[in-house]
């Protein structure tokens, strides 16, 4: 045979061998998938646990992505609510008839300010001539409507929806469209506020009631409070020129060139042709900051890591229960590679199904949440928009997380001894000794980086903290091994549990690392945000005792104030009203005082107080919460009484006077003698000026303030009631307003800590229970032996409880130390800009509950629900 024929023969044999080997591998994969599917159906509890751990993050992230994309409307998706189905363009008037510039979407404009020339309003004929088509006018504004619980602000659209151009701007859902100036239609959200079709609704304080004849739906805001009437029927006088507009029907599309011509005339244009062109796509406001990608990468990395750490013990539980099955396969000729493939197939099957279920349920949950939010929270709503590229990426991450979680059990399965497993003897799989050098080096680098960037951006601190987390995960095997040394001096249940945990580090390390990561994250967040909000409270002290209600008005005359005072007395019937003064200039305009510390000795930004109280000893007593004779005497002598010592420099304060709303038009600064007094509570600052400080600046005083302790009087505790009261006052004078002094710092801190604790409970208890379940399976022979030699059921419970307490306690302790470092650095970074130097506030109660309470709870629940019945062990002679 020639050499060429021999070479061809060898190549053919090689191809046939490769083909047979590929077919064999494919057959082995199919067999592994069948075995995994059968085992998943048989062990439903474990399967559900793994699928929840892997599928829940996929579900949550998919739901958030779907919700965000659906509510983030593009300029094209907004067209139905702006132009309807037939109009070619919407033209909007501006303050003046001077040229403007606008974006292609017709939403943003820039026009020079011209306060002198007030041109006449545009007429329909002028706009029609400029755009070259037929137009109908519309008006967008807000009005007040008398609802069941008082006047409230609602949107107003004045347009003829019966016209072909207006048809489709709002969809008729019930009744009919308005046909006369005395008729209106409302959105469904107003029906929830007591409005009924066939009833009357008063619009504006002095307007006549209009008959509600129909219900219309907004195309992109299902929850909006809106009233629709004919043009000019509700507000005959148009106070806002930019609310005026015209829907246009043109013979040809309105091009960008035509839009520029109308801009030169001072008109803003939303053109259907321009918005539907690629020119407007770049003006969809979905731009993200450069840091968004890094935040997203860190978030995904942490979610995947925690998922792997939590799901790892669950896969190990499956391996423990399938030891004999895998040993049987090995005894019949299965190679270590086959065993690894079977366990990895568990990750592929369970991860794939969990990711698919998470995507499907996440899309449904996002769509449901969007429909609820759009209806009840007045969010914008468009067609269901699923960002498939991102969603599929999240699903792929879920699948990868499952495969990574199954990796360690797969390696362990390939290394077990079939003979020992089939004989029922403990497995002697050797575990590699923990080598902490790499973890120590990475930990030192991470801590150093965290401390170094603590004076910089928060993102850098979080990135460095992630390095610390992975360094601790690498060190966890060494920590678990070292924790066995003190076990010799512990009681029997704890000694048995800790020694068992250190012998089976494969499942112990994963659970401890999961608890450690959750605890570290909770400690970091709690320290950072507690410090941040506490710093805000220190920087922005309250001007009055918490719960103080202030009624004030500016630029009004005495009769108007008398009417406001009467409305206040009627609303706050029975309350003790304390009068305050206001400074006015010679023209009767209100002047507001500004007090700022200017000595330069305060740390960080110096405090500034605007529109501070002016009054006598009654107002001083309200601000102090008691009678203070010394402070009252100082006030009567013409001294300011200061509750924030940082304002005083050389025994005086600096007071500047400016017209209300105009910071640069005023007098001063003037130096006013001042004394320091103690306020009603520690979180209060501010001061009170004597009337003589006003007159010395050449101004006059007038009563324009009323103060009342609403909390002590049981009045207006709800912010909604305060807003309703504010609308009642503004019906008398547009410059009147109500303010309820409230400190929301404690509420914000409590919210952050509650969310952090809730997440920690789920992660810590979930990881602990999964690992404890595996530990009980591993220790069953020891526990049965313990019972056989006379051990009580309580001892068995204590052993299991000690196992759970050890896992959760070790992880919580390490997480506390790591979180203290990273949380301190993040606190410093978040607060340095406020006080000129960082500050750290420790939530001791929260940390005690997190680090001590959760491990005790895990131990208690594990011991309470463990089974105490002894099972006969299988023996092989």
Same domain for 99 and 236? yes
- Between CA 18 and CA 5 the distance in angstroms is 20
Contacts of 872 (CB under 8 A, 6+ apart): 784
pLDDT bracket for residue 286 (50, 70, 90): very low
Q: What are the C-alpha distances in Å from 416 to residues 322, 348, 410, 421, 460?
A: 12, 22, 10, 8, 44
Two structure tokens written together for 368: 């449901």
Same domain for 693 and 580? yes
Q: Which of 223, 250, 283 is the last residue of a domain?
A: 283
What would the pLDDT profile of 186-222 be if each residue is shown by its tens digit? 999 999 888 999 999 999 877 889 999 999 999 999 9
pLDDT bracket for residue 20 (50, 70, 90): low
* Residue 139 near residue 244 (C-beta atoms within 8 A): yes
Same domain for 753 and 697? no
Which is more confidently placed, 787 or 856?
Answer: 856
Number of domains the chain contains? 4
Same domain for 148 and 237? yes
What is the b/e burial string over 571-588, where b = at least 16 CB atoms within 10 angstroms of the residue's CB?
Answer: bbeebeebebbbbbbeee
The residue assigned the tokens 């004929």 is 125
For residue 14, is it within any domain?
Answer: no
- Between CA 677 and CA 642 the distance in angstroms is 6
pLDDT of the residue at 606: 62
For residue 497, is it within any domain?
Answer: yes
Least confident interval from 201-205, 245-249, 659-663, 769-773 = 659-663
Cα Rg, the chain, nearest whole Å: 36
* Residue 264 near residue 99 (C-beta atoms within 8 A): yes
pLDDT bracket for residue 673 (50, 70, 90): very high
Q: Tell me how crowded residue 433 is: count the other CB atoms within 10 A of its CB.
A: 8
Same domain for 309 and 247? no
* Residue 709 near residue 740 (C-beta atoms within 8 A): no
Least confident interval from 78-82, 122-126, 314-318, 497-501 = 314-318
Mean pLDDT of the chain: 83
Same domain for 707 and 559? yes
Averaged pLDDT, 235-249: 81
Domain residue limits at 654 = 543-742
Same domain for 460 and 389? no
pLDDT of the residue at 877: 41
pLDDT of the residue at 4: 59
Candidate ranges 268-282, 287-301, 420-434, 841-855; pick with highest mean pLDDT: 841-855
pLDDT at 874 over 60: no
Q: Which of 694, 716, 742 is the last residue of a domain?
A: 742
pLDDT of the residue at 356: 93
What would the pLDDT profile of 383-434 be if each residue is shown by its tens digit? 888 999 889 988 998 898 888 888 878 887 888 878 777 777 665 555 555 5
For residue 15, is it within any domain?
Answer: no
Q: Which of 364, 396, 418 is the last residue of a domain?
A: 418
pLDDT of the residue at 19: 54
Helix (H, G, I), strand (E, B) or coil at 666: strand
Same domain for 715 and 616? yes
pLDDT bracket for residue 732 (50, 70, 90): confident
Same domain for 493 and 587? no
- Between CA 100 and CA 262 the distance in angstroms is 9
Same domain for 198 and 346? no
pLDDT of the residue at 264: 93
Q: What are the C-alpha distances in Å from 525 to residues 3, 521, 529, 537, 816?
A: 74, 6, 6, 18, 12
For residue 8, is it within any domain?
Answer: no
What would the pLDDT profile of 689-702 be if each residue is shown by its tens digit? 999 999 888 889 99
């Amino acid at each position: 045979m020639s050499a060429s024929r021999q070479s061809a023969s060898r190549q053919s044999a090689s191809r046939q061998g490769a083909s047979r080997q590929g077919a064999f591998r494919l057959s082995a994969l199919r067999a592994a998938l069948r075995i995994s599917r059968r085992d998943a159906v048989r062990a439903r509890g474990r399967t559900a646990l793994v699928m929840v751990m892997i599928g829940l993050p996929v579900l949550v992230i998919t739901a958030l992505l779907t919700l965000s994309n659906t509510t983030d409307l593009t300029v094209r998706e907004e067209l139905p609510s702006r132009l309807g189905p037939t109009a070619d363009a919407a033209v909007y008037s501006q303050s003046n008839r001077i040229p403007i510039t606008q974006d292609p979407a017709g939403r943003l404009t820039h026009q020079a300010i011209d306060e002198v020339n007030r041109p006449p309003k545009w007429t329909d004929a002028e706009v029609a001539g400029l755009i070259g088509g037929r137009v109908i006018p519309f008006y967008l504004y807000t009005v007040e409507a008398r609802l069941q619980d008082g006047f409230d602000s609602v949107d107003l659209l004045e347009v003829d929806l019966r016209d072909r151009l207006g048809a489709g701007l709002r969809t008729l859902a019930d009744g009919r469209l308005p046909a006369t100036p005395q008729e209106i239609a409302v959105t469904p959200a107003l029906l929830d506020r007591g409005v009924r079709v066939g009833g009357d609704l008063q619009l504006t304080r002095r307007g006549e009631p209009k008959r509600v004849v129909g219900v219309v739906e907004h195309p992109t805001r299902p929850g909006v409070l809106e009233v629709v009437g004919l043009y000019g029927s509700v507000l005959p006088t148009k106070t806002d020129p930019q609310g005026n507009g015209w829907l246009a029907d043109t013979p040809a599309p309105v091009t960008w060139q035509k839009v520029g011509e109308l801009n030169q005339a001072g008109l803003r244009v939303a053109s259907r042709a321009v918005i539907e062109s690629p020119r407007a796509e770049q003006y969809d406001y979905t731009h993200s900051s450069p840091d968004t990608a890094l935040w997203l990468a860190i978030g995904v990395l942490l979610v995947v890591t925690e998922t792997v750490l939590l799901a790892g013990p669950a896969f190990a539980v499956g391996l423990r229960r399938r030891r004999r099955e895998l040993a049987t396969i090995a005894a019949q000729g299965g190679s270590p590679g086959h065993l690894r493939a079977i366990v990895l197939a568990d990750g592929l099957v369970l991860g794939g199904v969990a990711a698919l279920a998470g995507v499907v349920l996440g899309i449904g949950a996002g769509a449901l949440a969007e429909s609820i939010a759009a209806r009840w929270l007045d969010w914008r709503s468009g067609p269901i928009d699923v960002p498939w590229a991102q969603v599929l990426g999240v699903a792929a991450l879920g699948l990868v997380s499952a495969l990574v979680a199954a990796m360690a059990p797969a390696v362990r399965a390939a290394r077990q001894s079939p003979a020992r497993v089939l004989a029922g003897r403990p497995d002697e799989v050797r575990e590699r000794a923990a080598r902490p050098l790499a973890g120590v080096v990475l930990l030192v680098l991470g801590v150093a980086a965290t401390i170094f960037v603590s004076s910089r951006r928060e993102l850098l601190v979080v990135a460095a903290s992630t390095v610390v987390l992975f360094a601790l995960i690498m060190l966890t095997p060494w920590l678990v091994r070292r924790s066995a040394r003190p076990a010799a001096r512990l009681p029997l249940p704890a000694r048995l549990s800790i020694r068992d945990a250190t012998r089976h580090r494969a499942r112990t390390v994963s659970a401890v690392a999961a608890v450690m990561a959750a605890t570290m994250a909770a400690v970091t967040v709690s320290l950072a945000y507690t410090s941040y909000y506490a710093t805000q409270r220190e920087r922005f002290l309250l001007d009055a005792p918490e719960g103080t209600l202030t009624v004030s008005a500016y630029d009004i005359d005495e009769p108007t104030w008398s009417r406001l005072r009467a409305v206040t007395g009627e609303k706050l019937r029975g309350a003790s009203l304390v009068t305050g003064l206001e400074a006015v200039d010679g023209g009767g305009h209100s002047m507001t005082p500004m007090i700022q510390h200017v000595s330069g000795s305060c740390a960080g930004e110096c405090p500034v107080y605007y529109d501070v109280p002016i009054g006598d000893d009654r107002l001083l007593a309200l601000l102090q919460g008691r009678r203070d004779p010394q402070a009252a005497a100082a006030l009567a002598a013409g001294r300011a009484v200061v509750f924030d010592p940082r304002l005083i420099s050389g025994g005086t304060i600096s007071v500047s006077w400016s017209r209300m709303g105009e910071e640069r038009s005023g007098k001063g600064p003037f130096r006013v003698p001042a004394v320091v007094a103690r306020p009603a509570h520690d979180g209060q600052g501010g001061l009170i000026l004597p009337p003589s400080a006003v007159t010395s600046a050449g101004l006059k005083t007038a009563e324009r303030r009323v103060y009342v302790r609403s909390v002590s009087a049981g009045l207006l505790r709800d912010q909604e009631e305060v807003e309703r009261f504010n609308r009642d006052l503004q019906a008398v004078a547009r410059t009147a307003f109500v303010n309820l002094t409230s400190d929301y710092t404690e509420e914000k801190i409590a919210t952050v800590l509650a969310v952090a604790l809730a997440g920690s409970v789920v992660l810590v208890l979930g990881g602990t229970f999964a690992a404890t379940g595996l530990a009980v399976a591993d220790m069953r022979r020891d526990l049965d032996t313990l019972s056989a030699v006379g051990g009580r059921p309580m001892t068995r419970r204590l052993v299991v409880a000690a196992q759970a307490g050890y896992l959760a306690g070790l992880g919580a302790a390490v997480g506390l130390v790591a979180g203290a470092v990273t949380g301190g650095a993040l606190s410093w970074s978040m607060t340095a800009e406020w006080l000129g130097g960082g500050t750290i506030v420790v939530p001791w109660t929260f940390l005690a509950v997190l680090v001590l309470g959760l491990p005790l709870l895990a131990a208690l629940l594990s011991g309470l629900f463990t089974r105490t019945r002894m099972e006969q062990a299988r023996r092989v002679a």
